[in-house]
């Protein structure tokens, strides 16, 4: 099986390294911007697009890869449920993928696992779901600089506020997508999704792996998304990210609380490593995307990913 990588950042290099250790897989790339054609048009069995978070920025790359006859995995968070962002683009690419007999999957750890696939798996042991609370506390210190700045780290208060207003500071992307994947699978109609992102400022200089945060700049944030059903919170997603979690008295953790007949809490400690977890889930999704039915699929349509 031939797997081509577009984007030569953390996820692509990590997933490519995992796949190179596997028999029967030939890894092409990772390719950078200048080698776009080589990455997308080599008729690989799977093209992994690990470049940006935004559907609009990967749509043309996806189209070219499927026209070449490749299945596509993209880590763009918005691609985990593209109908939440642009139903026309999603429908068009879905239809074209069906015609070409290939599939497209938005894959990753979050979205793609922690707030959706794992939640659905956990829901398997309850008779019905009343409401959900999913929480991640994430060590951001290993994230690349571009991603950190975009999600909201290393900003002074006014640049954080301005960035939130003009959309350049996004917080972590993907909660509405995860919520819609889970709601769709459980047959729930979401009325609306409310959200907030609160900055956390550094009280002194902090050195992350690829970025230094100065005193007074954002070192992390607290993010909350709530999906409302019948006027009440149905799915609450909490995300705390910081480049130095011990300063918050926290350590990485993941938890899923399912309120059903009885309340069940699943917890993962220490929380899933963002870099290794993301690279692994992409590498472990190769086979399931090849075996998937043609069209744009979500993690709710597929079996679990495993090595």
Q: Which residues bind ligand NAP (CB under 6 A)?
A: 7-12, 32-33, 50-53, 57, 75, 77, 108-112, 144, 146-147, 174, 278
Closer residue to ligand NAP, CB minimum distance, 146 or 215: 146
What is the C-alpha separation between 159 and 173, in angstroms, rounded?
Answer: 19
Nearer to ligand NAP, 260 or 268 (CB): 268
45 neighbors 290 (Cβ within 8 angstroms): yes
Smallest distance from ligand NAP to CB 303, Å: 18
Tokens 């992307």 sit at which residue?
A: 173
Min CB(178)–ligand NAP separation in Å = 9
- Six-digit token string for 285: 């999704």
Q: How far apart are CA 77 and CA 55, in angstroms?
A: 8
At residue 13's C-alpha, the angle toward residues 54 and 250, to 5°, is 75
Q: Tell me whether residue 16 or residue 213 sits nearer to ligand NAP (CB atom).
A: 16
Q: 179 is written with which tokens?
A: 């919520």
Q: Find the residue with minimal CB distance to ligand NAP.
A: 9
Residue 199, strand partner residues:
221
Of residues 71 and 170, the one with the C-beta less far from ligand NAP: 170
DSSP state of 123: G
What's the closest the beta carbon of residue 228 comes to ligand NAP, in angstroms? 24
CB of 122: closest distance to ligand NAP in angstroms? 18
Residue placing its CB nearer to ligand NAP in the complex, 96 or 150: 150
* Encoded tokens for 158: 């006014």
The answer to whether residues 301 and 285 touch, using CB atoms and an 8 Å cutoff, is no
Q: Report, in Å, the least distance between residue 135 CB and ligand NAP.
A: 16
């Amino acid at each position: 099986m031939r797997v081509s990588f577009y984007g030569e950042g953390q996820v692509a290099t990590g997933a490519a390294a995992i796949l190179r250790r596997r028999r029967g897989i030939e890894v092409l790339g990772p390719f950078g911007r200048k080698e776009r054609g080589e990455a997308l048009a080599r008729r690989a069995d799977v093209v992994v697009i690990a470049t940006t978070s935004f559907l609009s920025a990967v749509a043309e790359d996806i189209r070219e890869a499927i026209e070449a006859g490749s299945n596509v995995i993209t880590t763009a968070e918005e691609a985990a449920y593209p109908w939440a962002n642009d139903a026309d683009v999603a429908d068009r690419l879905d239809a074209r993928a069906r015609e070409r007999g290939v599939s497209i999957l938005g894959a990753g750890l979050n979205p793609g696992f922690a707030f959706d696939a794992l939640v659905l798996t956990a829901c398997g042991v309850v008779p019905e779901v009343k409401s959900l609370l999913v929480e991640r506390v994430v060590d951001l210190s290993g994230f690349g600089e571009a991603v950190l700045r975009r999600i909201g780290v290393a900003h002074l208060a006014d640049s954080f506020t301005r960035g939130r207003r003009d959309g350049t500071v996004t917080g972590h992307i993907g909660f509405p997508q995860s919520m819609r994947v889970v709601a769709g699978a459980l047959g729930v109609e979401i009325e609306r999704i409310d959200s907030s992102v609160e900055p956390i400022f550094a009280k002194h200089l902090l050195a992350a792996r690829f970025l230094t945060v100065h005193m007074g700049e954002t070192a992390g944030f607290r993010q909350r998304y709530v999906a409302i059903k019948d006027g009440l919170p149905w799915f609450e997603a909490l995300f705390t990210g910081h480049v130095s979690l011990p300063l918050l008295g926290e350590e990485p953790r993941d938890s899923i609380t399912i309120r059903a007949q009885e309340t069940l809490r699943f917890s993962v400690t220490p929380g899933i490593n963002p870099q290794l977890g993301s690279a692994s889930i992409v590498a472990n999704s190769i086979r399931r995307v090849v075996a998937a039915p043609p069209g744009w699929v979500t993690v709710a349509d597929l079996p679990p990913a495993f090595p």
